[in-house]
Structure 1
Amino acid sequence: MAAASLPAKFEHFLRELKDQYAKTVRNNPDTVAQIETAVRILSFLVAGRFENGELISELIYSASNLLVFINDNVFRAASKYLPKVADVAKQRLKTWLTVLEYAEVFLEMAARKKWGNKGAWIVITVIQIAKTVMRFYVLLKLDGGIGTSPSIQPADRELLKTVHEEHDSLEDAWDEEAAYSEEEKTFTLKSSGRQIRTLHASDHNGIRTWGVPQSGQQSANNNIQSKKKNVLFQSPSVLNKKRLWAERLYIARPLTHLCAAYTFGLESWKPWLVACGMDVSSLFLMGDTHDLKDKEKAEMKRRSLLLLYYLLRSPCYDQVTRDRLINSLKVVSQYVPLSGIIIRPILEYLPTWQKMYFYVWTS
C-alpha cells in the first residue's frame, strides 16, 4: 500500500510545485522578465570563455527560450485564455514543435560533440522528420493554416495583463449589478416608449456601450470573449488550393533538401537549387498577403527575408559569398570607429556559425 501510494504522492508534489511556481510568476511579472533577460545575456557572456563554452552557451540560450515559453503559458492561463476543446490537439503538437525549435541547435551541437559529424546528421534528420510530420498533421488534419516560427509565438504580456485585469473588474461588476433589478437598469420614455440606460447601470470606461444593457454576466461574457477573439486568439486563414500547395512546399523543403544533400553531396549546387526553388515557389504561390491575418503577414515577411540566408548556405557561401563578406567586414572595422568591437567577434565566430545546420538552414 505504501509503495503504491508513492506515485500518487509524487504526482501531488509535482502539482503543488507547479501551482506554486505559477503563482510566483503571476505575482512577480517584472522580476520574471529581468531573470529571463539575465539568463539570455549570460548565454552570450559564456561563449568562448572556456572549454565547451559554445555548447554551454547554446544550452543556456535554449533554456532561456524555454523559460520564456513556460512563463508565457502561465500568463496565458492567468488571463483566463484557454484554447477551445477542438484546438487542444493542435496546441499540444505546436507545443512540441516549439520545444524542438528552441532546442534543435543545442541538440545538433551536443550530437556533434559526442558522436561527430555522422551522429550530428542523424540527429538533424530525426528532428527534421519529426517537425515535418507534425507540421503536415497540423496543416492537413487540424486545419492549422500558415505555420509560424516558432510555432507558438511569444505572448504579448501587457495585453494578457489587460485582459486579466478587465476580467477581474467585470467579475466585480457582476456582483454590483446583482443588487439592481433589470427594471432599475433602464427606464421607459412616456412619449416614445423607448428604453434608456440609467446612470448606475453604465459599464466601465474601457468597455462602455450606449445600447440597452444586457444582463450583467451575459454582457461581461460578450466583452471578454470579443476581446479574446480579436486580440489573444486569431483563427488561421482558410487556405485555397494554391496557398495549400505553397504551405506544403514550405513544410517539405527541409526534408527534401536533406535527401538531395545525401544523394548529391553537400558541395553540390543541386540541393541548394532544389531548396531555393521550393522556397521561392512557395512564396510565389502564396500570392498577395493583404487578406491574411497580422501574424501570417509577419510570417510571410520573415520567409522572404530568409531568402538572404541562401547567400550563407553552402556551396554558395564557400564559392561566392565568403571572401566578399569577410573583406567587407574587415573594411568596415578599419574605417568605422568602434565597429571592430562588434565585427571582430563576428569574424571569429562566423566559420563555426556557418557550419551549424540549424543556424544556416533554419525554417
Structure 2
Amino acid sequence: MASSTKPPPVEALKPITSVSASPPRLLPTALSLPPKWLNMYSSFITANQSSVTQIESALRSLTYIIPGRFRDAELASESLHSSIQLLSMYHDTLLTRAISKLPGMPNASLHNRYTKFWIAKSKFYRRIATMLTMIQYTELLWEMMAKRKGERVRWRIIVILELVKAVCRLCLLRITNSRPLVTPALPERETIPEEEAPTEEEEVEMEEEVTPRVKEYKMKRTGLSLPTLPNPSDISSYLLSKVLTADDIKAPNTLLNKVNGSAQLAEILHIIQPVIYAIAMSRSKDKKDWQPWLLGLSIEYAARQLRKDGLRTTALEREQWGKRGWAMGWWAMRGAFYENVTKGFLQSTSERLPSLVSGVLDDYKYLWDEYYFSTSSN
C-alpha cells in the first residue's frame, strides 16, 4: 500500500526573497544630517558675527603672546594658530555669502569689489586664491615640521612652498588678464550691521516725544513710497553719505589697469623674487652673508622702479603699492641685515626694557632667528 505524503505548507512554497527584510532607511537620513549641521553652523556664525570675531582674536592672541618660551611647544602653538586662520577663512566665506543676500548693504571696499568679481566670474581664480591663502596660513607650520628632519629638508620645503606660491600668483595674473595682484587674494571680512537695541534713556525720550509721525508719500502710478526727509540739522552728512565717487560707479574689473611692457615685467619680478631669495638662502652656508639679502632686495627695488605711476593709476593700485612699500620694511628682519644689524640692536634694547617686555621680545627673537617664514611678507 502506497504511503500518502502530506503536502508542504503554503508558507514553505514562498520564495526566500520575500522573507528578506527591506533595506534600512537610516542611510539617507544620515547623509542628510551634515548639510543640515553646516546650515545651522552658518546661521550661527552669521547671527553672532561680533562674538565669533572676538573669540577668534582671543585665540589668535594666545599664539602671539608667548610664541617661543616653550621650545618643545612651538609646533603645537603654530598648529593652533594655523587652524584658527583656516577657520577664520571659512567664516569669511560664510559671512560673504550672507552679506551678498542682504538688501541695501553699503558699498563694499574697492578690494572686496574686485576680488568678489573675479571669484564670481572664474572658479579657477577662486580655487587658486584659496590655495594660495591656505599656503600662506600654514607655511610656517610646514617649515617647523620639516626642520625636525634636518636643515636640508627644511630648505627644500621652503623653496617648494615659495615656488608653488609663485605659480599660483602667475596663474592669478593670467586669469585677471595681466592685472596687478592684490593682497589678500580673497575678499576681506565685512561686518554685518546689527540693529542696536535702544537704551533706557532713549526709550524714555521716545515715550516723552509727542511729535506726529510723518507719513510717507505713496506714488499713485508706481505704488512706491518716497522716503521721509532727513533732519534739517543733519542735511550735510545725509548728502555726503549719498555721494558716489568715480570708483564707486566703475566696473569691478576696471578698478585695476592692465599692465604691459615694463609694468608687466615689474609684476613678474615681484612674483619670482621670493623664489630667487629662498634659493639663494638655501645655498648660502653663512647667515651673515650679504649676497642673498642684496639680491632679493635689489629685485624688489627694481620691480618698484619699473612700475608705471601715471595719471591713470587707480585708487586700488595706489593702495596695493602702498602695502608693498610697507612690506619692504620686513627686509630689516631678514637675512644678513638682521644678523649683522637688527639682532644686535634688539639685544641691546631688550636689556634696557622691563623684564616682562624683554621676555616677550626674546620669545619673538627665537622665531626670527630660527625660521624663514616668521618674517616673510609674501
Cα distance, 1:312–1:47 mapped onto 2, change above 3 Å: closer
Counterpart selection for 2:122 from 87, 90, 100: 87
Aligned-pair distance for 1:261? 3.1
In structure 2, the partner of 1:129 is 163
Matches within 5 A, 1:10-21: 12-21=32-41
In structure 1, the partner of 2:256 is 237
Cα distance in 2 for partners of 1:109, 1:90 equals 29
Cα distance in 2 for partners of 1:351, 1:290 equals 45
Relative to its length, the structure with more helix (as a share) is: 1
Q: CA contact under 8 A between 2:69 and 2:363: conserved in structure 1?
A: no
In structure 2, the partner of 1:274 is 295
**Could you tell me which amino acid in structure 2 is paired with residue 360 of structure 1?**
T
Structure 1 unpaired stretches of 5+: 163-178, 186-199, 207-225, 334-338
Aligned-pair distance for 1:280? 0.5
Q: CA contact under 8 A between 1:46 and 1:54: conserved in structure 2?
A: no
**Could you tell me which amino acid in structure 1 is paired with residue 83 of structure 2?**
A
1:120 equivalenced with 2:154 (yes/no) = yes
Q: CA contact under 8 A between 1:72 and 1:157: conserved in structure 2?
A: no
Q: Secondary structure of 1:315's match?
A: helix
In structure 1, the partner of 2:225 is 201
Could you report, residue by residue, the CA deviation over 1:52-85 in whole angstroms, capped at 9, with x for unpaired residues? 3222222222222222221111111011266465
Q: Secondary structure of 2:334's match?
A: coil
Cα distance, 1:317–1:37 mapped onto 2, change above 3 Å: closer
Q: CA contact under 8 A between 1:65 and 1:102: conserved in structure 2?
A: yes
Matches within 5 A, 1:204-283: 230=248, 234-235=252-253, 236-241=255-260, 242-265=262-285, 267=287, 268-283=289-304
When structure 1 is superposed on structure 2, of 20-29 and 343-352 the one drifting more is 343-352
Cα distance in 2 for partners of 1:349, 1:239 equals 40
Counterpart selection for 2:331 from 276, 301, 310: 310
Q: CA contact under 8 A between 1:62 and 1:106: conserved in structure 2?
A: yes
Counterpart selection for 1:352 from 367, 372, 375: 367
In structure 2, the partner of 1:212 is none
Counterpart selection for 1:68 from 62, 79, 88: 88
Aligned-pair distance for 1:13? 3.5
Cα distance, 1:25–1:273 mapped onto 2, change above 3 Å: same
TM-score when normalising by structure 2: 0.68
Q: CA contact under 8 A between 1:101 and 1:150: conserved in structure 2?
A: no
Could you report, residue by residue, the CA deviation over 1:305-341 in whole angstroms, capped at 9, with x for unpaired residues? 232222222222223332233224434x2xxxxx543
Cα distance in 2 for partners of 1:354, 1:289 equals 41
**Could you tell me which amino acid in structure 2 is paired with residue 201 of structure 1?**
S
How many residues are paired up? 303
Structure 2 unpaired stretches of 5+: 1-21, 102-115, 195-217, 231-243
**Could you tell me which amino acid in structure 2 is paired with residue 352 of structure 1?**
L
When structure 1 is superposed on structure 2, of 44-53 and 306-315 the one drifting more is 44-53
Aligned-pair distance for 1:129? 1.5
In structure 1, the partner of 2:201 is none
Cα distance in 1 for partners of 2:29, 2:322 equals 49
Q: Secondary structure of 1:148's match?
A: coil
Counterpart selection for 2:180 from 139, 146, 150: 146
Matches within 5 A, 1:280-359: 280-288=301-309, 291-331=312-352, 333=353, 340-359=355-374
Identity %: 21
Cα distance in 2 for partners of 1:133, 1:22 equals 32
What is the root-mean-square deviation in Å for CA atoms of aligned residues? 3.6
When structure 1 is superposed on structure 2, of 25-34 and 265-274 the one drifting more is 265-274
1:24 equivalenced with 2:24 (yes/no) = no
Larger radius of gyration: 2
Higher relative contact order (CA 8 A, sep 6+): 2
**Could you tell me which amino acid in structure 2 is paired with residue 274 of structure 1?**
L
**Could you tell me which amino acid in structure 2 is paired with residue 343 of structure 1?**
S
